[in-house]
Structure 1
Amino acid sequence: MAVVDLNNNNLQVDTSKDTVIIVDNFQSVRGGRALDVTDFNQPVIYAGHVIIKDTATGKIYKPLPVNTGGTAYEALPAGYEYAHILIASILTAKPSAALLVRGTVNHKACYIEPTADAMTALKPLIDFRAD
């Protein structure tokens, strides 16, 4: 089970692109989810990040892993499937996530552009459209 640490630290999140990335939010996961950020190597998870869930229970949500530099997604891990898109940027230390179910994402504005496989898996509920 994922746990959220509510202690504050000095790292701030730049949310200036969040509303450019998430163009329309027609439906989100009610109440959001706490993400399992074990082994996630970046201090911030930005809006537009692909969220995956385990296929065994459907209850473990985590950000799709990224490379060391945080510039590209790694392959989908075994036992997981594409699930949602992160609506708002969050600290990895406080992984309380708002998750998009239906809406429009400007994938060209994302910090890391979703892969073709992720976009295909999340359609037709999530429309990926560049401005």
Structure 2
Amino acid sequence: MAGYANLSNPDESILSEKDSIVIMNNLESIKGGKTLDITGFGPTIIKAGHVIIRETATGLFKPMPLATNDTVYGSLPSGHTYAGILVATIRTAKPFAGIMIRGTVNIVASPFSLTSILSAVKTALPQLIFTADE
């Protein structure tokens, strides 16, 4: 029949078992969240705890790029700053993101090692505490 559209979404399942472990204490997020620009981002899932960056020229928010093997963070692209930490696991098909800017992150449960960028992230986001399970 013409003129009708199916507005229901198919059932989806995302493994988000680490969301509440990696985000230990969310004290403040960007109000209303942001839609991420996922251009060039390979994985179809962005896990909670992923570092979010912002392009200074356009104001677009993006997931931190990954190295070519998609197992570690790549380098911060030129013209970008660290913006926060993804609060909950999302699909790149619907990149609607809650971004934490003040709170506590469990670095042991983070989706990728923060070792290479931790110092820079701490400097850029001083209201985030990075700790391990106690």
**For the superposition of Structure 1 and Structure 2, which TM-score range results when normalised by the shorter chain?**
0.7 to 0.9
Q: State the AA in 1 paired with 2:123.
A: A
**Partner-residue secondary structure (3-state), 2:108:** helix
CA offset at residue 24 of structure 1? Answer: 0.3
Tell me: CA distance 1:44–1:125, structure 2 relative to 1, closer, same or farther (3 Å). Answer: same
**Partner-residue secondary structure (3-state), 1:24:** strand
Tell me: CA distance 1:63–1:7, structure 2 relative to 1, closer, same or farther (3 Å). Answer: farther
CA offset at residue 111 of structure 1? Answer: 1.4
Judge conservation of contact 2:48–2:110 (CA < 8 Å) in 1. yes
- Where does structure 2 lack aligned partners over 5 or more consecutive residues? 1-6
**Is it true that 1:39 corresponds to 2:32 in the alignment?**
no
CA offset at residue 11 of structure 1? Answer: 6.0
Q: Could you say which residue in structure 1 is the equivalent of 2:127?
A: 125
CA distance in 1, matches of 2:8, 2:112: 28
Q: Could you say which residue in structure 2 is the equivalent of 1:3?
A: none
**Is it true that 1:53 corresponds to 2:46 in the alignment?**
no
Q: Which stretches of structure 1, 4 residues or more, deviate above 6 A after TM superposition?
A: none
CA distance in 2, matches of 1:19, 1:34: 21
CA distance in 1, matches of 2:77, 2:119: 13
Judge conservation of contact 1:82–1:121 (CA < 8 Å) in 2. no
CA distance in 1, matches of 2:76, 2:24: 25
Q: State the AA in 1 paired with 2:31.
A: R
Larger radius of gyration: 2
Residues 44-83 of structure 1: pairs in structure 2 closer than 5 A? 44-57=45-58, 59-83=59-83
The root-mean-square deviation of aligned C-alpha atoms, in Å, is 2.0
CA offset at residue 54 of structure 1? Answer: 1.1
- Where does structure 1 lack aligned partners over 5 or more consecutive residues? 1-5
CA distance in 1, matches of 2:21, 2:12: 22
Q: State the AA in 1 paired with 2:88.
A: A
CA distance in 1, matches of 2:24, 2:35: 23
**Partner-residue secondary structure (3-state), 1:20:** helix
